[in-house]
């Protein structure tokens, strides 16, 4: 018998098996098959994130029980018929290497859901299909698709298909499911499956696509259309930014009113009775109004299967037509519709290009993104002419797949019937919440009605209706600076944590004929201790001359500067003088005398001081003073763009409700009353190099809170900078990247070690993404609303501490020559002082990079990990025992809760919902506060603390009060320029018993505060752990009331033209708080 006769006698099943084996044996020798550009991009993305599921596609179909019995044979046929289902890819880090697997079997995972009730069954379907959709593929093993079979009823099954886009596209899923269903039905019924026309091998099609003949210039057409296209516009997201999202999607549908649909259909008469340009232009207008972008690229799907032989092809050949529409110049809708018609007609006249190939030619740096040319797609399904007039399009559009893979941020499909138009939105669930999308498309209906009624209106006059979502606006003071600041930009911070704001730059104070000091040469003065103190005052105070009889606080000193003088004194003398001397001394001479009287072994201290002064003189006399550093002007080179006048975009919104502004200052300072820092003990070395480092105690606390409430945005910090003039985006992006590279906390994530203790994981430097949104075409009112909404989205967007990054940037173009940069960071890696460091470095780097110069910043001598390691080393043994002993004695017998009169009973759990009430205190009263502080050798913080205590005592009818106060622990000069979390909270216990006068109460407040400063190295988290107060989820441990005082002499309250909104987050961490910010006009406070 000849071979031909033998083959003719084989059954169809045996023929298929033989064909499969021949193909497999033939392909076993084949390696390095042709591949398409889209496969190459998918492979590159997989290599950069092998555990990601963003390249997964999913679809489902219902099968009856009879068909399931034929499923195995159907799958064997399908795998044998489609080469792409047998493709896998070698583990090669240099290039893509596809090959055909020798063995390729598929066994569907099966789940029996019949015993479950209907609601539980629906939950199980969602969970299982979601898990299948999110599970990554190993590209080295075929097949790169999987099936899941769920039995719902005795004779009803759901078959869910998941595939990697390197071997499939959306059309392939439909082809596969239909073919599997048809063959399974046939085999299950005992019939042979109908033979289908053989699809070409995908490798041949891929080779044809790569060797693209360009006779008709199609590829060049698309290159020219897209050559200078901007980065894809981003819709403002409520749940995150697109770069880190998963593929999970949801569906929302809405029906267009009949009158509006009739109006839109009448407009189509201008474009050949086609709805496509009408609806495409309407979608573009909506995107423009939502994003502010005037140069839009929208993807229009195209299956690329027009050739008959490709109709049944399974493989990633489907593409998108990147349609670019320009909305500049305030066109009318009729003009846009007319412009869209030829664009769409010309584009639809040929095959869709490879988006990956276009991106490779146009913007190779964007290839890390999944869709580097567009993020939004448009599609029209027109049922008006094919006999489906009775089809319920709303039901079709509302169908929610068991697990939707959202490949784009937003995909809009219009389903059009003779008398019905339905809009179906498939959107990324990680980016947008359901309520936001519902609100958007209610507004979209309003827009469609306006377009249908008045197509001749300029698009700038159109509205999408006010957002239905409630706003959490702060009633705070808006602020601006009265004149542009060269090479500097004020920032504002939305603080959702217990930290204080930095001080403004100190001003040089004119001095009235101070008594001359001894100006003897280094080491030869009559009193080396006095010389050391004199040098320290000159370094840290904002004055050029210091007299022997002048008071530290009258010269502009405050608590943090006193702590810095204290730190320098320890360094120079080798011993520690009591901190209280800084507050008790009347003047410089008195302080020197008190130090001599209080320290042990004066002779050794004097010799140490002489050596310190000699070394200081040898190194160039005195260091540059902090005042000089803070006030030295920075000249802007003519070629370098510079940030100009800045206004407060976030309004200093705290979780506790305070408002304030932060002017620019290179050497940031901390509030006078609630700050202080003690130097690391000289016995503990800093600067050890480790791959991982312990988390500081403040970081540990925030990490544990995040574990209790994952996804919370409660501890986010935010600030904004306004840039006037042409913006150099490359310089700005480079400046941000340099800062991330320079400061380890900005590239740190957090993990738990074997004992469950959080540790810092320092990562390699990375590129900061800088999405831009154009709001120029919005009018002033709408633009202000849009800015407010975008900033609130940043306020509410959480970070993932395990994966990072913990810094996020966003750029808003608010005018032709104006941009707003919004930066968000998690409090676990920064405090508000860090924001000031970041702003200063960003300004300097931006100026230099814009002028083509290298970074002017000196290397950092200390890292944050060194501080964290020092903290853990220091808090042990005798030093820990001494600190704990002080606080245990100070808080012994203190009331656990301060119960203020309330309108409602205290809930069992804190919701952290809050509100804010702002008010101002006039300059005359502020002057009286400062004068009283001077008389009592105190600070305004201490006076205000005493006053706040009086108010609390009267309302709570208590004399024993415990109040929290934030503090920044940066006493060392080498910590001043670090970005990191250096905050702590002091627990101040104030006793009002005995009917004291207010002067006496101020003295008590001073004593309590100074003692707390001297013992502030014990972190609040460690204090709670050591004291073990009774825990109650209804209130904060140890204290429930917070007080904070900031100074901002740059702030101008008269800003009627300020259009940037103040933002309050609508949260409060404590029962009650008083937050004060001193300005030139007075004292701005908020409860």
331 sits in which H/E element? none
Separation of alpha carbons 854 and 849, rounded Å: 6
DSSP-derived secondary structure letter, 1035 = S
- Secondary structure class of 271 (helix, strand, coil): helix
Token reading at 724: 């006037």
Separation of alpha carbons 626 and 541, rounded Å: 7
Query: Exposed e or buried b for every residue in 341-360, given b needs 16+ CB within 10 A?
Result: bebbeebeeebbbbbbbbbb
Closest CA to 661 of 1050, 1080, 940: 1050
CB contact set of 859 (below 8 Å; sequence gap of 6+)? none
CATH architecture of 528-630: Orthogonal Bundle (1.10)
Instruction: State the alpha helices, DSSP H only, in 97-217.
Output: 118-134, 170-188, 202-210
Mutual orientation of helices 559-573 and 602-618 as an angle, nearest 10°?
100
Separation of alpha carbons 250 and 270, rounded Å: 35
Dihedral Cα 310, 313, 317, 320, nearest 10 deg: 70
Separation of alpha carbons 629 and 667, rounded Å: 7
DSSP-derived secondary structure letter, 299 = E
CB contact set of 142 (below 8 Å; sequence gap of 6+)? 85, 86, 87, 88, 100, 101, 104
Token reading at 969: 């622990």
CB contact set of 214 (below 8 Å; sequence gap of 6+)? 220
Contact yes or no for 169/57 (Cβ under 8 A): yes
User: What's residue 526's pLDDT?
Assistant: 64
Separation of alpha carbons 507 and 630, rounded Å: 9
CB contact set of 1068 (below 8 Å; sequence gap of 6+)? 655, 656, 657, 912, 913, 914, 915
User: What's residue 881's pLDDT?
Assistant: 85
Pick the CATH number of 220-304+315-461 from 3.30.565.10, 3.30.559.30, 2.60.200.20, 3.40.640.10: 3.30.559.30
Find the angle CA(422)-CA(424)-CA(428) to the nearest 5 degrees. Answer: 165
Q: Are strands 319-326 and 758-762 parallel, antiparallel or unpaired?
A: unpaired
Separation of alpha carbons 244 and 431, rounded Å: 10
User: What's residue 249's pLDDT?
Assistant: 80
CB contact set of 39 (below 8 Å; sequence gap of 6+)? 96, 98, 166, 206, 316
Q: Are strands 87-89 and 248-255 parallel, antiparallel or unpaired?
A: unpaired
Closest CA to 235 of 768, 793, 729, 788: 793
Separation of alpha carbons 383 and 414, rounded Å: 10
- Secondary structure class of 387 (helix, strand, coil): coil
If you search the block for the tokens 């804190």, which residue do you land on?
Answer: 910
Instruction: State the alpha helices, DSSP H only, in 743-858.
Output: 780-796, 832-850
In degrees rounded to 5, what are phi and psi of residue 263? -65, -40
Separation of alpha carbons 447 and 451, rounded Å: 6
Instruction: Please state which CATH class domain 492-499+661-867 belongs to.
Output: alpha beta
How many CB atoms within 10 Å of residue 93? 5
Dihedral Cα 614, 620, 622, 624, nearest 10 deg: -160
- Secondary structure class of 75 (helix, strand, coil): helix
- Secondary structure class of 655 (helix, strand, coil): coil
Contact yes or no for 489/634 (Cβ under 8 A): no
User: What's residue 284's pLDDT?
Assistant: 94
User: What's residue 326's pLDDT?
Assistant: 92
Q: Are strands 818-826 and 807-815 parallel, antiparallel or unpaired?
A: antiparallel
Instruction: Please state which CATH class domain 871-1086 belongs to.
Output: alpha beta
User: What's residue 1033's pLDDT?
Assistant: 60
- Secondary structure class of 51 (helix, strand, coil): coil
DSSP string, 199-228: PPPHHHHHHHHHT---TT-HHHHHHHHHTT
User: What's residue 573's pLDDT?
Assistant: 75
If you search the block for the tokens 């009448």, which residue do you land on?
Answer: 266
Q: Are strands 918-921 and 818-826 parallel, antiparallel or unpaired?
A: unpaired
Residue ranges matching CATH 1.10.1200.10 in the chain: 528-630
Contact yes or no for 85/24 (Cβ under 8 A): no
Token reading at 1003: 């003295």
Contact yes or no for 985/498 (Cβ under 8 A): yes
User: What's residue 969's pLDDT?
Assistant: 78
pTM (global) more than 0.85: no
Q: Are strands 1072-1078 and 1041-1047 parallel, antiparallel or unpaired?
A: parallel
Residue ranges matching CATH 3.30.559.30 in the chain: 220-304+315-461, 871-1086
Q: What secondary structure, in 3-state letters, does 461-481 show?
A: HCCCCCCCCCCCECCCCCCEC
Token reading at 479: 């602020």
Closest CA to 179 of 158, 198, 204, 202: 198
CB contact set of 143 (below 8 Å; sequence gap of 6+)? 79, 85, 86, 101, 104, 106, 167
As a CATH number, domain 13-208 is 3.30.559.10
Q: What is the mean pLDDT of each run of 10 residues along the chain (1087 residues)?
A: 60 56 46 79 81 83 89 91 90 82 85 88 85 89 92 91 90 88 88 74 84 63 83 70 63 89 86 82 92 90 79 84 89 91 76 68 54 84 59 61 71 88 88 85 90 89 50 28 27 32 30 36 57 78 70 71 74 74 76 77 76 65 35 28 31 29 28 34 36 88 82 82 89 93 93 87 89 82 84 85 91 88 92 88 93 91 89 82 88 84 65 69 81 84 89 86 84 81 88 89 89 84 81 71 71 34 55 78 78
Looking from the CA of 575 toward its CB, the CA atoms found within 13 Å total 18
Looking from the CA of 929 toward its CB, the CA atoms found within 13 Å total 21
Separation of alpha carbons 1025 and 779, rounded Å: 54
Residue ranges matching CATH 3.30.559.10 in the chain: 13-208, 492-499+661-867
Separation of alpha carbons 223 and 359, rounded Å: 9
Separation of alpha carbons 356 and 411, rounded Å: 19
């Amino acid at each position: 018998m000849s071979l031909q006769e033998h083959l003719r006698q084989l059954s169809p099943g045996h023929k298929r098996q033989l064909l499969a084996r021949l193909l497999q044996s033939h392909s076993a020798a084949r390696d390095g098959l042709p591949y398409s550009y889209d496969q190459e991009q998918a492979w590159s993305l997989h290599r950069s994130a092998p555990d990601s599921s963003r390249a997964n596609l999913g679809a489902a179909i219902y099968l009856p029980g009879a068909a399931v019995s034929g499923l195995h044979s159907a799958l064997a046929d399908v795998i044998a018929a489609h080469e792409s289902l047998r493709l896998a890819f070698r583990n090669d880090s240099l290039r893509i290497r596809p090959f055909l697997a020798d063995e390729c079997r598929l066994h569907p995972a099966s789940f029996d859901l019949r015993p479950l009730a209907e609601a539980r069954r629906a939950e199980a379907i969602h969970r299982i299909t979601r898990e299948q959709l999110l599970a990554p593929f190993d590209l080295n093993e075929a097949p790169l698709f999987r099936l899941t079979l769920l039995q719902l009823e005795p004779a009803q099954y759901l078959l869910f298909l998941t595939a990697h886009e390197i071997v499939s596209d959306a059309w392939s899923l439909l082809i596969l499911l239909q073919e599997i269903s048809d063959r399974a039905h046939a085999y299950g019924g005992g019939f042979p499956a109908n033979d289908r026309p053989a699809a070409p091998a995908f490798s041949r099609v891929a080779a044809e696509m790569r060797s693209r003949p360009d006779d008709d210039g199609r590829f060049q057409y698309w290159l020219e259309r897209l050559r200078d296209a901007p980065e894809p516009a981003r819709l403002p997201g409520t749940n995150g930014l697109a770069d880190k999202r998963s593929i999970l999607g949801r569906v929302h549908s809405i029906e267009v009113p009949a009158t509006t649909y009739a109006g839109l259909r009448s407009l189509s008469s201008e474009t050949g009775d086609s709805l496509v340009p009408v609806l495409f232009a309407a979608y573009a207008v909506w995107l423009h109004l939502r994003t502010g972008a005037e140069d839009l690229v929208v993807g229009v799907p195209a299956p690329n299967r027009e050739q008959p032989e490709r109709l049944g092809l399974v493989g990633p050949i489907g593409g998108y037509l990147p349609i670019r529409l320009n909305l500049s110049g305030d066109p009318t809708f009729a003009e846009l519709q007319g412009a869209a018609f030829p664009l769409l007609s010309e584009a639809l006249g040929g095959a869709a290009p490879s988006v990956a190939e276009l991106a490779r030619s146009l913007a190779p740096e964007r290839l890390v993104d999944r869709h580097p040319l567009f993020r939004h797609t448009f599609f029209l399904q027109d049922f008006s002419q094919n006999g489906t007039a009775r089809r319920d399009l709303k039901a079709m559009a509302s169908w929610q797949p068991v697990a939707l893979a959202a490949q784009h941020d937003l995909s809009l499909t219009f389903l059009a019937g003779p008398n019905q138009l339905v809009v179906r939105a498939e959107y990324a669930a990680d980016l947008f919440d359901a309520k936001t999308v519902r609100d958007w498309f209610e507004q979209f209906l309003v827009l469609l009605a306006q377009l249908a009624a008045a197509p001749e209106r300029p698009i700038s006059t159109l509205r999408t209706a006010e957002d239905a979502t409630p706003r959490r606006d702060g009633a705070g003071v808006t602020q601006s600076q009265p004149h542009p600041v060269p090479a500097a930009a004020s920032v504002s911070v939305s603080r959702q944590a217990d930290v204080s704001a930095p001080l403004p730059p100190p001003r040089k104070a004119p001095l009235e004929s101070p008594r001359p000091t001894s100006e003897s040469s280094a080491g030869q003065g009559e009193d080396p201790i006095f010389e050391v103190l004199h040098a320290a005052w000159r370094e840290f105070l904002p004055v050029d001359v210091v007299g022997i009889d002048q008071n530290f606080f009258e010269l502009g000193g405050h608590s943090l500067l006193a702590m810095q003088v204290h730190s320098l004194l320890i360094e120079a003398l080798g011993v520690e003088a009591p901190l209280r001397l800084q507050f008790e001394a009347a003047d410089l001479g008195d302080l020197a005398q008190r130090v001599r009287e209080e320290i042990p072994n004066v002779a050794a201290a004097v010799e140490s001081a002489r050596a310190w002064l000699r070394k200081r003189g040898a190194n160039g006399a005195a260091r540059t003073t902090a005042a000089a550093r803070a006030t030295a002007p920075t000249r802007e080179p003519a070629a370098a763009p510079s940030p100009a006048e800045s206004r407060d975009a976030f309004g200093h919104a705290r979780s506790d409700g305070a408002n304030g502004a932060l002017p620019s200052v290179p050497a940031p300072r901390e509030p006078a009353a609630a700050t202080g820092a003690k130097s690391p003990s000289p016995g503990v070395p800093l600067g050890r190099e480790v791959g991982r480092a312990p988390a500081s105690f403040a970081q540990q606390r925030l990490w544990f809170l995040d574990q209790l409430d994952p996804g919370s945005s409660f501890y986010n910090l935010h600030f904004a900078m306004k840039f006037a003039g042409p913006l150099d985006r490359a310089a700005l992006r480079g400046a941000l990247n340099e800062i991330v590279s320079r400061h380890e906390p900005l590239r740190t994530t957090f993990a738990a070690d074997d004992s469950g203790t959080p540790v810092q994981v320092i990562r390699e430097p990375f590129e900061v993404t800088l999405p831009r949104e154009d709001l120029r075409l919005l009018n002033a009112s709408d633009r202000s609303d849009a800015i407010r909404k975008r900033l609130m989205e940043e306020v509410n967007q959480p970070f993932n501490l395990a994966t990072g990054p913990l810094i996020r940037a966003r750029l808003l173009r608010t005018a032709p020559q104006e941009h707003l940069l919004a930066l968000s960071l998690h409090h676990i890696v920064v405090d508000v002082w860090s924001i000031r460091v970041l702003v200063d470095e960003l300004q300097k780097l931006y100026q230099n990079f814009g002028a083509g110069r290298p970074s002017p910043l000196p290397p950092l001598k200390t890292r944050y990990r060194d501080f964290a390691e020092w903290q853990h080393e220091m808090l042990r043994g005798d030093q820990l025992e001494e600190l704990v002993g002080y606080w245990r004695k100070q808080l012994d017998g203190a009331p656990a809760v301060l119960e203020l009169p309330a309108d409602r009973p205290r809930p069992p759990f804190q919701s952290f919902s809050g509100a804010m009430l702002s008010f101002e205190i006039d300059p005359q009263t502020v002057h009286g506060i400062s004068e009283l502080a001077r008389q009592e050798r105190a600070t305004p913080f201490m006076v205000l603390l005493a006053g706040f205590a009086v108010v609390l005592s009267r309302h709570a009818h208590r004399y024993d009060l415990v109040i929290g106060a934030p503090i920044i622990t940066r006493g060392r000069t080498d910590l001043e320029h670090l970005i990191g979390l250096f905050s702590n909270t002091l627990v101040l216990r104030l006793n009002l018993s005995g009917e004291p006068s207010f002067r006496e109460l101020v003295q008590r407040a001073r004593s309590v505060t100074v003692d707390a400063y001297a013992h502030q190295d014990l972190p609040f988290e460690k204090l709670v752990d050591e004291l073990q107060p009774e825990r109650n989820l209804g209130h904060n441990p140890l204290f429930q009331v917070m007080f904070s005082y900031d100074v901002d002499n740059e702030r101008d309250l008269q800003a009627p033209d300020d259009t940037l909104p103040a933002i309050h987050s609508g949260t409060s961490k404590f029962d009650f708080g008083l937050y004060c910010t001193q300005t030139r006009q007075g004292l701005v406070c908020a409860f």
